[in-house]
Amino acid sequence: MKTVLAATLAVFFTANVQADTVGLYLGGQVWQNDVSGTFGDNNTPIDFNLKKEQQIDYFIAVEHPFPFVPNVRISRNKLDTNSKITLTQQLSFGSEVFPIGENVNANFNVSYIDYTLYYELFENGLFSFDLGLSARDFNGDVTVNETTRISYGTCNDPNPSPDSPCVDGGETLIGKIKTNKIEPMLYVATKISLPF
């Protein structure tokens, strides 16, 4: 769903208790998402032309020399973007139905945190290979909203009934779909150092 045009700004810090024993690594990156796709009713999905936005991701990891205790890495990633379109067809989303001609705001906000336990299976100074398991904690929502002014005419009745043809009022339509789940994943990482 996304193509990453990444400019990585990573900085690593190492804090050693004793030489080459325990390492603390911090890093991050800034990247610009290029989101494409559709959502809405299964029969008539709509392309919302979501905006390109800059995102910031970061991680922290602790490595140590104890052979049977896994290393720990925690990283956070986020995809947050939005758009505004005028509907050319009816949209059913969440618990709401948006009619043709509505100016609709769409917000796509998904983030996840990876909790990773891994072992460094090989490391010789120039090359390393890590293998482990991650628990990916997803949290996000897609929201479509619009404020519509409803006007069916005027009448002299100061308290018209809801069925009256002369209702003048407003309502806010908000449709939302949320996700909150944890997925297990395999973690594999390699590092290759240049000799110079």
CA atoms within 13 A on the CB side of 54: 6
Q: With 90 as the cut, is the pLDDT of residue 146 above it?
A: no
pLDDT, tens digit (0-9, with 9 covering 90-100), for 75-90: 999 888 888 888 888 8
pLDDT at residue 186 in the model: 97
Q: What is the pLDDT of residues 80-120, one digit of tens each?
A: 888 888 888 888 888 888 888 888 888 889 899 999 999 99
pLDDT band (50, 70, 90) for residue 168? very low
The pair of structure tokens assigned to 44 is 């008539």
Token pair for residue 55? Answer: 């995102």
Q: Between residues 146 and 58, which one has the greater pLDDT? A: 58
Q: How confident is the model at residue 11 (pLDDT cuts 50, 70, 90)?
A: very low
Residue 176 CA to its chain's centroid (Å): 15
The helices-and-strands tally (H runs, E runs) of the chain is 0, 11
Instruction: Give every CB contact of residue 171 below 8 A, 6+ residues apart in sequence.
Output: 147, 148, 150
User: With a threshold of 0.75, does the pTM exceed it?
Assistant: no
